[in-house]
Chain A
Amino acid sequence: MKSDNGKNIKIIVFIVAIVVAATALSMGISLLCGNLKFDVTADNRYSLSEETMKFLEENQKDIAIRLYKDVNLSKKSPKLGKYGEYVQRLLGKYVDKSNGKITLSVIETVPFASTQAEAEKAGVKEFELPNKEKYAYLGAVFTDEEGRSMTIPRLGVERYGEVEADVTRLLSVLAKDKKAALGVISPFFRVANAKNPLQYAENYPFIKQLQENGYEIVLLREETPYIPYNVDAVLLFYPLNLSNLTVFALDQYLMRGGRVIVIMDAFSDRRFVRKKVYKQYQSGLDKFLQNNGIVYQNNMLVGDERNAKELVLDGQKINYPLKPIIDGEKGEEKKINNGLKNLYLSHAGFFEYDVGENLKVKELLSVENSSGEMPAAAMVDMDYDELLKNYLPTGKKYSVAILAEGKFVSMFDKPLIEDAEMMLKMPPFLSVPLKEGKLLLIGDSDMFSADLWDAKYKEKHGAYEAVFISDNMRFLLKAVDYMTESGYVTLTAKAGRLSLVSVAQVLRDKAMANYAKQKEDSEKKLMQIRQNMAIIGDKTKAKGLTTIAQFKEMEELQRAEMAENRNLEQIEYLINKKYQSYLDWLAWMLIVVIPLGVAAAIWGIYYAYELGAKRKAREYVK
């Protein structure tokens, strides 16, 4: 006879076996399917772009990512905590897709501990937080197999749309054995000014951006007899009255197959001419360009009515057509223009060209159909109404950036320099081109001034804190990538939102809307009273004494001001009260009314079903 105890033991063994089997299965699945994940977010926040995937597939270099994350990040700032989790997941995705080439380690920084010191040493910088805890760390350090390191000092929530672009960029820079070098010639960044060569970097921080995006910047003298071999391309930013010597250097560079980016302007910058006096801009390159069939029209400005930006001037909105917004997708060289939608220009000159068969010109940026023009000279000392009178709609096509590739014609038939010792240092003179060169011309230097591409340009910051308001910087990055053939990856920003306008904000706005008219009236009244007070004040100041009538009037105005202030306070109180009532209403709805409603609805449905069932039962029995 079998024993009952034996059965009990069997059951226990069976349960244990189930637990063990489930555990083994769960572990196996975790190991096998751990990387099998699907992105369900509307903005595909966990999906890597095609360019990133291609880069990860091709990358052969081992790169280690260290994510420094404050140990109490979520407590210190819930928003940053959530963002940190998101970045960690995104970096995990890079690791998953890298065929083992990229590794990620998350290092939790503890205040005053070695991890914090390590983070700081690696270049990670603290976030200053508004609450009691003063700072927190969230940054990433990328190190390649040779120990080269690049850092994103702060992974800020504002850069949510850019984070993939930043990470892929750094990885693509580290994947190359050597950083690409860009020679820069500009009156803004003078080598001669040894103390502060980048003195205008605050207005034109693109140099800093290029450096942080993997370029070695070689500042060249404005008077340079030749372009050194160690630069991959040359950028002429705002070339101003270039000497023949520099033109010779550039001419010969292009003959040797060099790559030159020239960013010109329709105006002479105020730094170089007396304030408010218009002076026609002269780059010094005109002759060289004309020699190759290209003309830079800097006496006219390009307008675009369709894209005209609405400007508010003295409280009035006017349609100002001289800041065109250009769709870069229409450009011909896709490697440069792809994915760039919003390119802002400001008072741009344009290019006209009729080149020979050895050169090929591609349009990069242009304004057409709704276009127009205006004399550049009309810009100075004119008010905006006057300006608009001078504007002439033409509908013509204006090219504001072009790319010329091919064999350039030299301006020179003999070497410009006769100094034998110097000649030995220089590359041999070429009167006919040796190789095909590339020349990228941009007709507006303002395009790269911080206020046209970065919402936070006035603050001191690096690439990883800039908040782009246009694709201008990305256009430059892509152009430099193309010209230097660096192989770096420049991604466009990901559209999407990390956080929303809050419910509180919506309800507050709704509450405000109820009293908007009253508030506006009251504020207008207050402004009127203050203006009147100022007029009386001016009068008394001018005369040096106050009449009794003025004194009384002033007193009355002060009383009226106080009354109006009280009225405003009252309105604020009412707005707050309304807002609170909305919050209460929402809470009641969600906590009491909706649950009761749902329960009642379910009861109703079941009651109807039960009645039907009872009727059916009676019918059966009859």
Chain B
Amino acid sequence: MKNLAICWGKEFKFYFQSKMIYLAVLVYASISATLALYGSDFYNVTTINMSQFFLYQPGVLATMVPVLTMRLWADEYKNNTLEVLLSQPISIWSVVGGKFLAAWSVAVIMILSSVGIWIVVSLMVDLDNGWIAINYLITFLVAGSLCALASAVAAFCYNTIAAFLGAMALCMFVVLVDFSSWIDELLPNNVMLGNLAKSFDFKWQFDNLIAGQIGVAGILYFVIVIAAALWTSLIAVEYKRR
């Protein structure tokens, strides 16, 4: 646990040292606000749960998270630090977990930078603040799963560009692909398969969770995605050590 914290601390500081966090916050907060205001009829139909803001979050995060994770492993290879790091008396889990948690922490800070929208809008209209707070937590969870997926891709890549493009492709695929419609198209009356497809559908799970009804299955879905992606990262690093 201590080693995990040490690795997290080092990676977390990296985002500040490399000034990446400022760029991420600026770009993310601006894009999110722009999409919320102009992506749908925000001014005229103001929903009680700021759904217009959350609607675009998976897409925005799928773009921003690869920026946060692209240097996680590529820089270690570039600077020859991986062999130093992995010859220390710490487990590989700590390194993988620390890197993931650092990216997730920065993603959380990035998401929190949009709280300004919530505050400004709530000064004007009466929002369901509890619901919005929960939706923020769900967005953190989604960011976590995207961070885990993107860092798994990054762990396989030796350079930054490849890590960014690979992670972006995977995140976009996960977020945008509508498995349930595919199944509906291919096998229209197969309820069982349809439900199964839905349970895999990232966007469907997210939409379900932010609708005001927190399903345990939905939360576990994202937790499993995180666990599976971290495991894959671990395998990637192990693979490179062999």
Which residue of chain B is the closest to A23 with respect to CB atoms? B200
- Bound: A15/B126 CA distance, A: 48
Chain A binder among B69-77, B164-172, B231-239: B231-239
A312 at the interface (CB under 8 A from B): no
CA distance A22 to B45 in the complex (A): 39
A595-B26, A598-B116 known; A40 vs B46 contact (CB < 8 Å): no
Among B40, B125, B213: residue with most chain A CB under 10 A = B213
A37 and B224 CA atoms in complex are apart in Å by 18
- CB-CB < 8 A to B213: which residues of A? 37-40, 46, 89
Which of B22, B29, B33, B224 touches A22 (beta carbons < 8 Å)?
A: B224
In Å, the complex CA distance between A82 and B225 comes to 28
B84 nearest CB across to chain A (Å): 21
User: What's the tally of chain B residues with a CB closer than 8 Å to chain A?
Assistant: 61
Contacts of B46 in A (CB 8 A): 499-504
Asked whether, in the complex, the Cβ of A595 is within 8 Å of the Cβ of B30, the reply is yes
Q: Of residues 26 to 57 in B, which have CB atoms within 8 Å of A's CB atoms?
A: 26, 28-30, 33-34, 36-37, 40-49, 51
Contact of A33 among B25, B131, B216, B242 (CB under 8 A): B216
Establish whether residues B109 and A602, one from each chain, have CB atoms under 8 Å apart when the complex forms.
yes
Contact partner of B48 among A7, A32, A79, A497, CB < 8 A?
A497
Which residue on chain B has the smallest CB distance to residue A19?
B228
The count of A-to-B residue pairs whose CB atoms sit within 8 angstroms is 169
A20 CB to closest chain B CB (Å) equals 10
Residues of B within 8 A of A33 (CB): 215-217, 220
Contact present for B116 and A40 (CB under 8 Å): no
Picked from B16, B42, B49, B130, the residue with its CB within 8 Å of the CB of A503 is B42
A236 to chain B, nearest CB (A): 45
Q: Is the interface of A mostly helix, strand, loop or mixed?
A: helix
Asked, given contacts A11-B239, A586-B120, A602-B21, whether A25 binds B224 with beta carbons under 8 Å apart, the answer is yes
Question: Complex formed: what's the CA distance from A33 to B235 in Å?
Answer: 30
Most B C-beta atoms less than 10 A away, residue of A27, A40, A503, A602 = A40
Residue B117 at the chain A interface, CB threshold 8 Å: yes
Tell me the minimal C-beta distance from B60 to chain A in angstroms. Answer: 13
CB neighbours (8 Å) of B43 from chain A are: 502-504, 507, 583
Chain B contacts of A7 at CB under 8 A? 242
| A29 interface neighbour in B217, B228, B238, Cβ under 8 Å | B217
B195 beta carbon closer than 8 Å to chain A: yes
Is A40 a contact partner of B130 (Cβ separation < 8 A)? yes
User: Which residues of A have CB within 8 Å of B34?
Assistant: 591
Cβ of A14 within 8 Å of any chain B Cβ, yes or no, is yes
In the complex, are the beta carbons of A18 and B48 less than 8 A apart? no
Q: Is A129 at the interface (CB under 8 A from chain B)?
A: no
Q: Given A503-B43, A602-B21, A603-B22, A592 and B30 touching (CB < 8 A)?
A: yes
Q: Which of A26, A506, A594 is the one whose CB lies under 8 Å from B125?
A: A506
* Residue positions of B touching A, CB distance < 8 A: 16, 21-22, 25-26, 28-30, 33-34, 36-37, 40-49, 51, 109, 113, 116-117, 120-121, 124-131, 134, 195-196, 199-200, 211-217, 220-221, 224-225, 227-228, 231-232, 235, 238-239, 242
Q: Would you mind naming 16 contact pairs between A and B with Cβ atoms under 8 Å apart? A: A18-B235, A27-B199, A30-B196, A33-B217, A36-B216, A37-B213, A38-B215, A41-B49, A42-B130, A43-B128, A587-B33, A589-B120, A592-B30, A595-B26, A598-B113, A606-B16
**Sample of 15 further A-B pairs with CB below 8 A, known A7-B242, A39-B212, A599-B26:** A4-B242, A11-B235, A15-B235, A21-B228, A30-B199, A33-B217, A33-B220, A34-B215, A37-B213, A41-B128, A41-B131, A497-B126, A507-B124, A592-B30, A599-B22
